[in-house]
Amino acid sequence: MGIHAIRLPDIGEGITEAELTEWSVKVGDVVKEDDVLAIVMTDKASVEVPSSVDGTIAELSGEIGDQIAVGSVLIRIEVDGEGNEADIAATSAAPEPKKEAAPEPKLAKPAPKTEAPKPAPVAKPATPVARTQGTKPLASPSVRARARAEGIDLRQVPGSGPAGRISQEDLDQWIASGGIQQGQVTRGANTGIEEVRVIGMRRKIAEKMQLSKRQIPHISIVEEVEMEALESLRGQLNAKYKDERPKLTLLPFLMRAIVEAVREQPGLNARYDDEAGVIYRHGGVHIGIATQTPNGLNVPVIKHAEAANLWDNAGELARLADAAREGSIKIDELQGGTITITSLGPLGALATTPIINHPEVAIVGVNKMQVRPVWDGQQFQPRKMMNISCSFDHRVIDGWDAAVFVQKLKTLLETPAMLFVEG
């Protein structure tokens, strides 16, 4: 019998550590080869760590939320035969084999204890539940007496103890928070505080946002774009190809507009290594699309948007967005962006102040399209109007250049024929 250590595998180029987000097994579990042992998170993607052996889990090395370095031991598994760790005694969590009995072959057998049938009714783990109406609040007699003396209706006091039991401290807090007096028909102050650990994807997002906002002096420009022509073109294209090609949203047009605009201003399609002091201006336009997923914000990247047509970009966008939402997106599909689009669709508001996706230098935000009155020189005309809100890294992009870029986008979107003028 030996101990086989499973180390955090190399899970992507340049990744040196990953955050442990879930243990899929616990000590004592019997696992087979390829069973998932744990889930770790790297640069916005979840990676399952499989077992490479059959055996029994002997030790879990780390807590949920820990950063684990690639190559360090993640889990130790007790296996038949020799493990890959020479000295069993060196691993503290390994069971102490009885020395005198060590040669006995029966010790090598896995313990059969897990097979014992459980006695009938076993209480399931209790989870805090809202107090059912009609049941009396759990509280000791001294707490009840004090509540009565103070004229407090205990049914309204949140209890911090097991099963929502109300302690003297809960009562202190309720009184301190100016709790509601008995008989008054008012809303009770909810003094409960839920502790939510910032782990996994949320932590990644938090770190990324903090990095962007701390490192990059943002400059944001909001411009109004008339969308009549583009919307009309989009409608015609969708009508014409409705059976053959994916439906076009606004985004493929905007991607094309960005491709055109950065052709003249390559400094905007770039990644800025601020530590090295080098701006990498990319020839290819790799457009990140900020995407809301059940776990939070994700930014899949459409590579070489300049090399694809409207429909190809639309198809790729749909594929990546689905993959991101399902969690099946690959790490390299989340990396390598040179500029980002953020769009909240109908929730897009009048204006936003997008945060640049570090180390990129520009981000284009799309606001809500709506019909607004536009003065045409003689009268107000109803027009489909939309704002775009763009942010730039002011360290490397001057206000002038930023304004020129935004005006270029406006012109391209308002005169969509120019999107397709070659050259």
Q: What is the largest CA-CA distance in the chain?
A: 103
Q: How far is the CB of 142 from another protein (least distance, A)?
A: 9
**What are the residue numbers of the active site?**
394, 398
- Residues 39 and 75: their CA atoms lie apart, in Å, by 12
Taking the CA atoms of 113, 116, 122 and 127 in sequence, report the sign of the dihedral they define: positive
> Shortest approach of another protein to residue 162 CB, angstroms?
5
Give just the sign of the alpha carbon dihedral 309, 314, 317, 323.
negative
Asked if 280 and 269 touch (Cβ cutoff 8 Å), the reply is no
Please report how close the Cβ of residue 181 comes to another protein at its closest, in angstroms: 13
Q: In 3D, which of 245, 221, 224 has the Cα closest to residue 413?
A: 224
Instruction: Measure the CA–CA gap between 87 and 102, rounded to whole angstroms.
Output: 15
Structure token pair of residue 361: 């230098």
User: Which CB sits closer to another protein, 131 or 394?
Assistant: 131
Whichever of 164 and 348 has its CB closer to another protein, that residue is 164
The stretch among 32-40, 113-121, 220-228, 230-238 that binds another protein (CB under 8 A) is 113-121
Nearest distance from residue 29's CB to another protein, in Å?
17
Span of 114-122, 196-204, 252-260, 346-354 interacting with another protein by CB under 8 A: 114-122
In the set 26, 124, 187, 214, which binds another protein (CB under 8 A)? 124
Nearer to another protein, 179 or 365 (CB): 179
Cβ 236 to another protein shortest distance, Å: 60
CB atoms within 10 A of CB 214: 8
Among 89, 101, 126, 347, which residue interacts with another protein (rule: CB under 8 A)? Answer: 126
Q: Which of 71, 128, 345, 382 binds another protein (CB under 8 A)?
A: 128
Enumerate the β-bridge partners of residue 49: 38
Q: For another protein, give the closer residue by CB, 127 or 133.
A: 127
Told to check if 89 binds another protein by CB under 8 A, we report: no
Stretch that binds another protein, among 45-53, 122-130, 275-283, 365-373 (CB under 8 A): 122-130
Query: Contact letters (x/-) for another protein, 173-212, by CB under 8 A?
Result: ----------------------------------------
Report if residue 123 touches another protein, rule: CB under 8 A. Answer: yes
**Choice between 119 and 283, CB closer to another protein:** 119
Count of residues of this chain found to bind another protein when the rule CB under 8 A is applied: 27
Integer Cα distance of 76 and 79 in angstroms:
9
Report the amino acid identity of residue 178.
G
Q: By C-beta, is 148 or 330 nearer to another protein?
A: 148
Which one of residues 103, 105, 117, 121 is an interface residue with another protein (CB under 8 A)? 121
Residue 132 vs 378, nearer CB to another protein: 132
Other CB atoms within 10 Å distance of the CB of residue 399:
11
**What's phi and psi for 31, nearest 5 deg?**
-120, 155
Residue 339: strand pairing partners: 287
Least CB distance from residue 26 to another protein, whole Å? 15
The rounded distance, in Å, linking the Cα atoms of 138 and 126 is: 15
| Using rule CB under 8 A, residue 118 touches another protein | yes
Token pair 């130790």 in the structure block, residue: 76
As separate numbers, helices (DSSP H) first and strands (DSSP E) second, the chain gives 7, 18
Q: Which residues contact 286 (CB under 8 A, 6 or more apart)?
A: 301, 302, 303, 304, 305, 336, 337, 338, 339
Among 86, 89, 116, 129, binds another protein (CB under 8 A): 129
H helix intervals, 112-153: 141-149
Angstrom CA distances, 218 to 205, 340, 397, stand at 18, 14, 10
Whole-number minimum distance, CB 166 to another protein, in Å? Answer: 8
- CB-CB neighbours of 283 under 10 Å: 9
Question: What Rg do the C-alpha atoms of the chain give, in angstroms?
Answer: 30
- CB of residue 133 vs another protein: minimum separation in angstroms? 13
| Segment near another protein (CB under 8 A); pick from 12-20, 129-137, 231-239, 316-324 | 129-137
Site for another protein in 137-176 (CB under 8 A): 138-141, 144-145, 148-149, 151, 161-166
Q: Is 30 exposed, middle or buried (0-12, 13-18, 19+ CB in 10 A)?
A: middle
Residues that bind another protein (CB under 8 A): 118-119, 121-124, 126-129, 132, 136, 138-141, 144-145, 148-149, 151, 161-166
